[in-house]
Amino acid sequence: MSEQQPFRSGFVSLIGRPNVGKSTLLNKILGQKIAITSNKPQTTRNRILGIHNLPDGQVMFLDTPGIHKPQGKLNRFMVDQAIAATSDVDLAFFLVEATSLPGGGDEYALNILKKSAVPVVLVINKIDLVEPPQLLRLIEAFSRKHEFHAVVPLSAKTGNGIDRLLKEIEPFLSEGPRYFPEEMITDLPERFIVAEMVREKVMRRTREEIPYGCAVQIETFTEKPEKNLVVIQAMIHVERESHKRILVGHRGQMIRDLGQDARKEIERFLGTRVFLELFVRVDENWSQSERMLRELGYE
Query: Are residues 89 and 59 part of one domain?
Result: yes
Query: Are residues 146 and 41 part of one domain?
Result: yes
For the segment 259-291, what is each residue's pLDDT rounded down to a tens digit? 999 999 999 999 999 999 999 999 999 999 999
Residue 9: strand pairing partners: 58, 174
Task: Please check whether residue 181 is in contact with residue 150, taking contact to mean a CB–CB distance below 8 angstroms.
Answer: no
Number of domains in the chain: 2
Task: Please check whether residue 262 is in contact with residue 216, taking contact to mean a CB–CB distance below 8 angstroms.
Answer: no
Query: Are residues 89 and 117 part of one domain?
Result: yes
**Residues above pLDDT 70, as percent of the chain:** 98
Query: Are residues 165 and 198 part of one domain?
Result: no
Query: Are residues 162 and 127 part of one domain?
Result: yes
Query: Are residues 218 and 72 part of one domain?
Result: no
CA distance 169 to 15: 15
Residue at 249 is within a domain: yes
Query: Are residues 127 and 208 part of one domain?
Result: no
Contacts for 250 with CB less than 8 Å, ≥ 6 apart = none
> Does residue 3 surpass a pLDDT of 70?
no
Query: Are residues 271 and 126 part of one domain?
Result: no
Residue at 142 is within a domain: yes
Q: Which domain does 150 fall in, by range?
A: 8-175
> Which CATH number belongs to the domain containing residue 171 in this structure?
3.40.50.300
Res. 80 pLDDT band, cuts 50 70 90: confident
For the segment 179-229, what is each residue's pLDDT rounded down to a tens digit? 999 999 999 999 999 999 999 999 999 988 888 899 999 999 999 999 999
pLDDT given for residue 1 in this prediction: 46
Residue at 195 is within a domain: yes
For the segment 56-73, what is each residue's pLDDT rounded down to a tens digit? 999 999 998 888 777 788
> Which CATH number belongs to the domain containing residue 247 in this structure?
3.30.300.20
